[in-house]
Structures are given as C-alpha cells and as structure tokens.
Amino acid sequence: MHWVDVYAEQLLGRGKKHFVESGTSISGEPHLGSAEDLIISDGIAKAIIEKGGECKAIWAMDDLDGLRKIPKQLPKEFEDYLGQPAFKLPCPDGCCASFADHFTRPFLENLARIDVKPEPVSVAKMYQDGKYDNVVRIAMDRAAEITAIIKEVSGSDRGDDWLPFFPICENCGRILTTQAYAWDGQRISYRCKGGIAGKNFIKGCGHEGAVGIRQGKLPWRVEWASRWSHLGVTFEPMGKDLMASGGTYETGKAICERIFNSPAPLAVPYEWIVIEGGKRLGKSAGRILTIGELIDIATPEIARYFFFRSKPTSHKDIDFGLGITKLAEEYEIAERTYFGQDMGLPEKEIEDVKRNYTASQISGIPERLSQVSYSHLISTVQVTNDWDHILEKLARTDDISGMTQAEEQRLKVKVEAVKTWLATHAPEDMKFQLQAEHPEIEISAEEKAILAKLLGKLEKAEWTAEKLHDSIHTTAVESGIKAGAMFNLMYRIFLNRTKGPRLGYLLASLDREFVVERVRHFST
RNA sequence: GGGCCUGUAGCUCAGCUAGGUGGAGCACCCGGCUCUUAACCGGGGAGUCAAGGGUUCGAAUCCCUUCAGGCCCGCCA
C-alpha cells in the first residue's frame, strides 16, 4: 500500500476527524524543504478524505520568531532588526504589508498551484487576539513543572527561576534578547539583556519592564505543545531532526500530555531534500531552491510526483538539470501505467505506481490518456515558439487530435515548463536554435553533391519522422560517407551546429517547403 | 552515553504496514535495427537482501544483537 494510505488508515483507526498542522519560520524565502512539509500533509489529508474521514489543514506562519540572521538577499540596514519578531519588520522591497507577507505570499501562491491550500494563520495575530491567553496562563502557572519535564526529557536544566515566555521588549522591540523573571498572575517582568542567535550575540537595550501575556510568546517546545492542544492537532509532519531522543517532539509530547492533558499528534518524520547527491538545501546551497521554481520547470503534477513517488523517510535528491527530464519520464511511465498500458513494471509495483500518479493530480484525475512527452517537447519548442505552430508540429508526430480543453490546457502548461527549463536549467548541449535564415557556413563541393542527391528524395518522401530518417541514411550510404558525417552536415545547415535532436522528428515537424528550400540552397 | 533514519545487482532505488520461488531503471555482455544524441528493439550475466542469532513449515519482510553511514540530543526555531 502507498504510504499516504498507510498513514491515512492508521489515523482513521484512531478517529474520523483529523487536523494537520504545518509550521514555517520566516527568516527569508521558504525553500523546497519547507514545502515538503505541507505537501506531505496534503497527501495524507486527501487520502483521509477519500476514505470517508475529515481533515482540516492549517499552516502556522511563525512570524513572532525573532530575526536571527539577515537573509542574503536583504540589505544591510536590516541589521537593526536583528532580534525583532518577523511580523514587525517592513517589506524589504516595499511591495507588501510586511516582511513576513513578502516571503510567504509567493510560497503560499505556489503551493496553491499544486492544490496545497492549508488555512494560513499568523502566530503573532493569534497571540494578539488572545487565542493563546489560556495556554500562556497555564504555562506560566505551571512553569516549575514545565522546567522539570524539559529537564527530565531532554536533560537540559533551565534553572529554578526560568519562565517559559519571551516578552517583546517595549523599548527596543526585540524578542530574542529578553529574559522573563517574574509572573504575578497578570504581568511578566523581564530584562532586555541580550541573547544568542546561532554564532552571533544580539545585544539587548538593558530595559527592564513588565508586559501582559499577549506581548510575547512561549518558547518553541512549549508553544508547539500548546498549539497541538488547543487546535486539536492529530498529525504533523516534521523533519527528522525534531525526532531525536530528548528532542523537540519528545519534550513537546510530554508537555502536551502532562500539562495540557491532550494526546500528542502522530509524528510523520521526513528526510531532507538534498541537492547534488548530498548537500542540504538552504545550508550549503549557494542559492535558495523554491517550490515555485520546481513547478515552473516541471509542471504542477510532476512537482507533486517528486514528493509522492518515494516515502517521506527516504532521501530526495533534486536535480534541476537533466534530472528533471528523468523525473518527467518516470511520471509519464506512471501515467501510462495508470491508463492500463503495460510498461513492463513488476506486478507488485503497479498499484503503488498508479497511486503515485493519482496522488500527483491537482484538478481531478483525467478520464483518458493524453500525453506528449517532456523530452519530445524539448525539441518541438525549440523549433517554434508559437502555440498554434507547436500544435501543428505535434500533430505530425503525436496523436493530439480531439484534445479537450482541459487536455489542451495541461499541454500548454507543460510546454511553458519545458521552455522555462530550457531557459534556466537545461545543459547547453540540449539547446539548439533552428536557423530561420541560411547560416553562413562553408559547404564543400562534395557535400553539395550529396545534398543534391537528398533533395530529390525529400521532394517525394512521405513526411514522417521514420521515412525522412531513412532518406537521409540512404543518401549517406549511396554517397559512400559515414552516417555521422551526413547527420553532421544536416545539423549544420539547419541548426548551425554539429549535433542536435533526433533528425527524423525534427525534420518531420518542419514544413516540407522550408526543408526543401534549405537543402536546395546549400546544394548549389 | 542516547535517539531517529538508512543499508537490497557495479550505480540509483522499489519491495518490508499484513512472511510464501528476490525486482525495476541505468551500466555491462550478446544479437538486431543501413540509425547520429545519455536513441530504439530482443536476449543475457548478474545478489550471503550489511552481519549474526531467534520465531516460523517458510524471513529482505517480524523480534533481539552487532557493524557501517547520515542527521540529531546547549540556546533559538
């Protein structure tokens, strides 16, 4: 059984109503790994619903977290904001209501393109609206027990005076720099003494004061537990780093059960996405890879497929170069398998492969197979840019007659994806440019004779990829030159380079008049 | 010291939830296509399922132990 169904059935065994939470901290643009969390949630949620259960999905924007370091793409002025909660920061480009919006809006918009649409919730707003009042009071009243639980589970001793609350300093607006030291049942007293953020120390302003329970936040381990409890979260995907013994999940679970008297959610651990065979995203990658980029070059369905084809616990190596064509090919095999074509897969695998396909769909499962392969489009879109011409050319080599509007729309999206891939990530040797004008190249007398010989064949040949390929090959044999030299010659006069896509398909997608004219020109 | 995950063909991995003759793709070898690109078609060799033990009529699968790799176990998230 596919893993989404395994989780769904396990959860349905516990109850019919489910609630999945995902959370993302806002310290710049969320990368592909942050999206993984939400996509896993979505797959399981949909499986629960298909099996007759209910499942709500919520996405917590952790905009109350302090800014710990300045994201690379931000100007230096943001240093002043270090330690301040993300919701208070301005939009770096002045285009959005806030820093948090600026980075999360494209993230959520891109997830919506693959039908991942959790209800977004601002954590800062939840505190401000008093949604956390209850849990903060409980946490403050029972601070000593919480300290004991953390010590018991994780081995870390916060000290007897520790209070599970970070006030926002009234003077400097920072949250990473404050230390709470007293709770009188209404207000929390604190000092702004400075705090550690990674390798950096963020200076406090020295202010001492007292704030109400809506002017700050619970520490992460406590907050997570409180969120599970008051929202009634039943499962939550989490990176495997949170699953260590004594780690965040274990402490949160103990706090959730013992302080808030709620069952902890089922943890769905997942592995990191890696690039280039092992580098972690975000950390060592020089560049942020986002879900939007993946969708842009792979199509929405193939982007989803990347996440569902393997278990959450296996490593996912993403390759935006040639790897995308492999991924697309694999998806296309799954699609043909779903529609009953025998792709030579072992019996045992077929059900899961079909499930990979259905889990990857975004607007219902198509009623019939209508597929033009990604690899074929790579060559087609380089011959022409125009949609009607693309259709016309595809019609010569693929059966695309009688496409429904939905099918045409999907093809359009795929064509755009291929174009984007070619423009951004394709290796150079996959690219070519059909020469609209005669390229300025030297053609020897012998080559001219060969082209003249070919010309006669082209004028009469049936205009299919196979026949054209044959004509070219026969000409080479008759002229006593190697096939390779013949193909090389053809690429030169059409592409002004020495290699290219499969020539039969390329020529078949062009007009006979154009091809004949080009060959005639170089044969004299 | 502890935890989670991973270990299956040369490589990348599926199969493990619920035990029933070990699989796929790539690579390799042979043959074919008058066939250029990381092309196509047919066939083939491939393995102590990390190791050991246990349960069982039967174990890649369940249990225990060991080994190897990755990540994690101060704060913050």
pLDDT per position as a tens digit, A126-180:
999 999 999 999 999 999 999 988 888 887 888 888 899 999 999 999 999 999 9
Q: Which of A176, A198, A2, A187 is nearest to A88 (CA)?
A: A176
The share of chain A scoring above pLDDT 90, in percent, equals 28
Kindly report, residue by residue over A425-448, the tens digit of the pLDDT. Answer: 887 778 888 888 888 888 888 888
Name the more confident of A345 and A33.
A33
Which residue's CA is nearest to the C1' of nucleotide B26? A326
Which nucleotide lies nearest residue A9, CA to C1'?
Answer: B17
Mean pLDDT: which of A182-186, A370-374, A396-400 is highest?
A: A182-186
Residue-range domain boundaries for chain A: 372-524
Q: How far is the CA of A250 from the C1' of B73 (A)?
A: 11
Q: How far is the CA of A282 from the C1' of B4 (A)?
A: 22
Which nucleotide lies nearest residue A221, CA to C1'?
Answer: B77
pLDDT for the residue A208: 94
Mean pLDDT: which of A26-40, A207-221, A349-363 is highest?
A: A207-221
Residue A284 has pLDDT above 50, yes or no: no
Which nucleotide lies nearest residue A23, CA to C1'?
Answer: B77
Q: How far is the CA of A154 from the C1' of B51 (A)?
A: 33
Q: How far is the CA of A476 from the C1' of B34 (A)?
A: 9
Which nucleotide lies nearest residue A469, CA to C1'?
Answer: B35
Rounded mean pLDDT, A13-30: 87
Task: State the DSSP H helix or E strand holding residue A179, giving kind and residue range, or none if neither.
Answer: strand A178-183
Which residue's CA is nearest to the C1' of nucleotide B71? A241
CA–CA distance, A266 with A380 (Å, rounded to integer):
48
pLDDT for the residue A202: 87
Residue A480 has pLDDT above 80, yes or no: no
Read off the pTM. Answer: 0.90
The architecture that CATH gives domain A372-524 is Orthogonal Bundle (1.10)
One-character DSSP codes across A315-377 = -EEE-SSTHHHHHHHHHHHHHHHHTT---S--HHHHHHHHHHHHHT-SSS--SS-----HHHH
Q: How far is the CA of A472 from the C1' of B60 (A)?
A: 52
Rounded mean pLDDT, A315-328: 79
Which residue's CA is nearest to the C1' of nucleotide B17? A6
Kindly report, residue by residue over A85-124, the tens digit of the pLDDT. Answer: 988 888 888 898 888 888 899 999 999 999 999 999 999 9
Which nucleotide lies nearest residue A430, CA to C1'?
Answer: B37
CA–CA distance, A422 with A297 (Å, rounded to integer):
9
Covered bases, chain B (protein CB within 7 Å):
1-6, 12-18, 23-25, 34-39, 70-77
Q: Which of A427, A418, A428, A338 is nearest to A379 (CA)?
A: A418
Q: How far is the CA of A346 from the C1' of B48 (A)?
A: 25
Q: Which of A86, A110, A83, A84 is nearest to A99 (CA)?
A: A86
Q: Which region among A88-97, A203-212, A336-345 has the lowest average model confidence (pLDDT)? A: A336-345
Mean pLDDT: which of A30-34, A174-178, A455-459 is highest?
A: A174-178
Q: How far is the CA of A519 from the C1' of B35 (A)?
A: 21
> Average per-residue pLDDT in chain A?
85
Which nucleotide lies nearest residue A505, CA to C1'?
Answer: B39
Tokens at A30, concatenated: 């969320």
CA A161 to chain centre: 43
How many CB atoms within 10 Å of residue A150?
A: 22
| Cβ contacts of A128-135, under 8 Å, gap ≥ 24 | A128/A214, A130/A214, A131/A230, A132/A213, A132/A214, A132/A217, A132/A218, A132/A226, A132/A230, A133/A213, A133/A214, A134/A230, A135/A218, A135/A226, A135/A229, A135/A230, A135/A260
How many CB atoms within 10 Å of residue A254?
A: 19
Which nucleotide lies nearest residue A65, CA to C1'?
Answer: B77
Residue A376 has pLDDT above 90, yes or no: no
Which nucleotide lies nearest residue A329, CA to C1'?
Answer: B25
Residue A285 has pLDDT above 60, yes or no: no
Q: Which region among A105-114, A203-212, A306-315 has the lowest average model confidence (pLDDT)? A: A306-315
Q: How far is the CA of A469 from the C1' of B46 (A)?
A: 36
For residue A1, give the 3-state DSSP assignment: coil
Kindly report, residue by residue over A406-432, the tens digit of the pLDDT. Answer: 999 999 999 999 999 888 888 777 888
Q: How far is the CA of A311 from the C1' of B8 (A)?
A: 16
Q: What is the DSSP letter of A500?
A: -
Name the more confident of A351 and A192.
A192
pLDDT for the residue A283: 45
pLDDT for the residue A136: 93
Mean pLDDT: which of A25-34, A42-51, A430-439, A456-465 is highest?
A: A42-51
Name the more confident of A391 and A207.
A207
Q: How far is the CA of A500 from the C1' of B36 (A)?
A: 8
CA–CA distance, A161 with A24 (Å, rounded to integer):
30
pLDDT for the residue A175: 93
